[in-house]
Amino acid sequence: MAGPVSDERTAVVLPAEGPLAPPARQGERTLERRRRAVAYLLLTPGTLYLALFFALPLILIIYTSLKSGGLLSGGGFRFTWQWENYTDGLATYGSFYVRSVVYAGIATVACILLAYPMAYWIAFYGGRWKSALFFMILVPFFVSFVIRTVQWRFLLGDFGLIFGPLKDLGLLPQDFRVLATPLAVIAGITYNFLPFTALPLYVALDRIDRSLIEAAKDLYATKTEAFRKVVLPLSFPGLFAAVILTFVPATGDYVNSSVLGGPNTTMIGQIIQTKFLVELRYPEAAALSVVLMVGMLLIALLYAKALGTEDETLAAGAGA
Amino acid sequence: MPEVDVRLERVTKRFGEVVAVDDLSLDIAEGEFFSLLGPSGCGKTTTLRMIGGFEDPTMGTVYLGGRDVTDLPPYRRDVNTVFQSYALFPHLNVFENVAFGLRRRKVPKDEIATRVREAMRLVDLEGFEERRPAQMSGGQQQRVALARALVNRPKVLLLDEPLGALDLKLRKQMQLELKRIQQEVGITFIYVTHDQEEAMTMSNRIAVMRHGRIEQLGEPEAVYENPATEFVAGFLGASNLLEGEVKETNGSGLATVLLTAGPSVRLPVDRLPAGATGRVKVGVRPEKVSIAPEGEAGPADRNTVTGRVTMSTYIGVSHQFKVQTAGGAELTVYVQNLGAERSPAQGESVVLTWKPEHTFAVEPQEDLTSEEDEG
Ligand SMILES: Nc1ncnc2c1ncn2[C@@H]1O[C@H](COP(=O)(O)OP(=O)(O)O)[C@@H](O)[C@H]1O
Ligand SMILES: [Mg+2]
């Protein structure tokens, strides 16, 4: 957010005063330099944190992904530039990546379709209850992720709370099931990631200046047009963030497919988890993780490019 | 008399307990530059928003061009608004901002280009079409807001303190500019402001509002020279108000008022508040008063008060004096700086005189102290 804002300032000031501005005096320069130094100083804890908990593990994972050998047999791992970890991994598990991306993609779309109207309604009609209402979206998520997902097993069970009575009444065939199908996994992901979608959307919608909507109506826009031409474009930055924040972690998720899925719904996160924690095949697991990460990065970059994040549309929306 | 363009008929707007606009009626003529003037919270914006269709009146009727529009949404009214905060669309460039209304009305492409260009010329912003609002100064944004409204050629343009965010110099310049534009396009302007000078400079007529009602409505000169209430006298320019009692109204058309603080003064009978007989406040504008050293008694046909100068301030174009009368009242006097006379010094005894026809009288209003100054 800081970027576009400061850009605006320079843009406003420069044409008016740029060429005429008197040269900064020595004192001002020192002050400016000191201010910058302080700014960098403020960055150090964050930088150290990232170096320690992000960069270092990342390097270790890449390093591990090129090792060979086994922990139990084969006398431990050795670094041997074992590229086969990648090629074999991709060949064996390619379809799991695709499935993960498809499930996460569908879930992300579902999340947006659910969260956008909710966030919109709360931001525009919540009045003084806004914060309380939004908090209600978050409340279920104070309960552990795993417990919530396990609850869904009871709800969606073949003879569970929902389908049991319906089957008893003969409204559903006895062999009807949702659990262990892609639908269950996608529904679980949708449910579990909804706050990550709702929060950025709500923030973006809530900060839209209401007078812009009045201006649109004043300029002959109907309610729908005011939404399409003003609210929607101004919520793009939030939409963008919501998609990334939902899609990326959802692709790597393994809890929903483990708990709600069946043998045919296995996602790549599950494979990685099993390889790491059950089979203890660290190099292969690391290679699969790196592939997942790089894939996600590529998708995110392509997505950003397609939407034109560099375009000022988003910057202006974010800065306004 | 040109046709009535905007008519408010007994309009009231309540927000819960608050009565923002109180049984207000108003006729605005076609092509008029009409100002709603008053302190913050007096209901100006609410009145404007009801004309624009952004608020529903609790009671009463709004007519535009003779048609009852009370229940029409903003986009079905032939009215455009220049918002106080400009409300420019940050995600659109200047061209698209200005073209917004035309696009909604499905105006053909060529015509949009022509009309936007025309509007940009009108507000003197040619060449800025590709800029984003955020890349423009406050004054330029203000012009974009104006162009965006005018390009639609509405019957009526509503302006809510459009110059409020600009610095003084730019504001003065834009006042003249707005006036020029209004004359050029001939559209009815309804202008909300709390700045009395701004309202006087630009308007054909002014409605001075207070507590959701119109205290006085008229041409700037009439409102200034003959304020109808104590509030209006205080809100528009400076006035000297002296308490007194109406003594007699003689045949020559002059009434005599005995001031609590001293002598009696005369004023035209028609300047007395309707039906006033008892206590009134007599007023005279500071620039109407002449000041002279004691003993130099003025002509007998002028109102005369004596006193002592308590403060003498030189402000370039004029001298400003505060004079305390024997009875304890304080008067302000402005004397144009012609460079000739010697001006009275502090402590000096002086005679103040002014013409009866420059005198006005209002009923005393009790509840004025706390709310006069605008926010
Ligand atoms: N949406 C609203 N809800 C509640 N009170 C309001 C609302 N709009 C205006 N008011 C109240 O109505 C009164 C008039 O407001 P307004 O028309 O904005 O005055 P002005 O424009 O003259 O400053 C004020 O007391 C204000 O607090
Ligand atoms: Mg206002």
User: What is the H or E stretch that residue B280 is in?
Assistant: strand B279-284
Quote the domain boundaries for residue A147. 87-319
Q: What is the mean pLDDT of residues B15-34?
A: 95
Q: Is residue A49 part of a domain?
A: no
**Residues 289-328 in B contacting A (C-alpha not used; CB under 8 Å):** none
Is the distance from the beta carbon of residue B18 to the nearest atom of ligand 1 less than 6 Å?
yes
To which residue do tokens 């978050």 refer?
Answer: A138
Between chains, do A220 and B105 touch, taking CB under 8 Å as contact? yes
**Count of helices and strands (H, E) across chain B:** 8, 20
Q: Is residue A213 part of a domain?
A: yes
Atom of ligand 1 nearest to the CA of B38: 22
d(CA B283, CA B296): 23
Mean pLDDT of chain B: 90
Between chains, do B137 and A12 touch, taking CB under 8 Å as contact? yes
ipTM for the complex? 0.83
Q: Which of B125, B152, B126 is nearest to B140 (CA)?
A: B125
d(CA B166, CA B175): 11
pLDDT band at residue A314 under the 50/70/90 scheme: very low
CA atoms within 13 A on the CB side of A7: 13
How confident is the model at residue A27, as a pLDDT?
A: 65
Name residue B68's beta-bridge partners.
Answer: B63
Is the distance from the beta carbon of residue B36 to the nearest atom of ligand 1 less than 6 Å?
no
Q: What is the mean pLDDT of residues B4-27?
A: 94
Cβ burial, residue A126 (10 Å; 0-12/13-18/19+)? middle
- Numbered ranges of CATH 3.40.50.300 in chain B: 4-225
Model confidence pLDDT, tens digit, residues B268-288: 888 888 766 688 899 999 999
Expressed in angstroms and rounded, the spacing between residue A20 Cα and the centre of ligand 2 is 37
Q: Is residue A10 part of a domain?
A: no
B138 touches chain A (CB under 8 A): no
Cα–Cα distance list, B226 to B35, B232, B236, B287 (Å): 18, 9, 11, 14
Q: Which of A110, A71, A111, A15 is nearest to A286 (CA)?
A: A71
Q: Choose from B54, B91, B157 for mutation: most chain A CBs within 10 A.
A: B91
Structure-block tokens of residue B129: 């079409």
Model confidence pLDDT, tens digit, residues A110-127: 999 999 999 999 999 998
Q: What is the mean pLDDT of residues A79-89?
A: 93
The separation between the first and the last C-alpha atoms of chain A, rounded to the nearest angstrom, is 10
Q: Is residue A96 part of a domain?
A: yes
CB of A66 within 8 A of CB of A81?
A: yes
Model confidence pLDDT, tens digit, residues A225-267: 999 999 999 999 999 999 999 999 999 999 999 999 999 999 9
CATH, residue A277: 1.10.3720.10
Positive or negative torsion for Cα B281, B285, B288, B294: positive
Q: Is residue A305 part of a domain?
A: yes
CATH fold for domain B4-225: Rossmann fold (3.40.50)
d(CA B293, CA A239): 77
To which residue do tokens 């998609």 refer?
Answer: A243
In terms of phi and psi (left: phi > 0; alpha: psi -120 to 50; beta: otherwise), the region of B347 is left
Ligand nearest to the CA of B42: 1
How confident is the model at residue B275, as a pLDDT?
A: 66
Q: Which residues have C-beta within 8 Å of that of residue A150, sequence separation ≥ 6?
A: A259
- Numbered ranges of CATH 2.40.50.100 in chain B: 239-362
CB of A185 within 8 A of CB of A256?
A: yes
How confident is the model at residue B69, as a pLDDT?
A: 95
Across the beta sheet with B240-249, the strand order is B264-268, B254-259, B240-249, B279-284, B360-362
How confident is the model at residue B189, as a pLDDT?
A: 96
Atom of ligand 1 nearest to the CA of B194: 22
Number of domains in chain A: 1
CB of A189 within 8 A of CB of A226?
A: no
With H, G, I as helix, E, B as strand and everything else as coil, classify residue B289: coil
pLDDT band at residue A26 under the 50/70/90 scheme: low
- Which residue has the least CA distance to atom 7 on ligand 1? B15
pLDDT band at residue B301 under the 50/70/90 scheme: confident
pLDDT band at residue B52 under the 50/70/90 scheme: very high
| The CATH number of the domain covering residues in B239-362 | 2.40.50.100
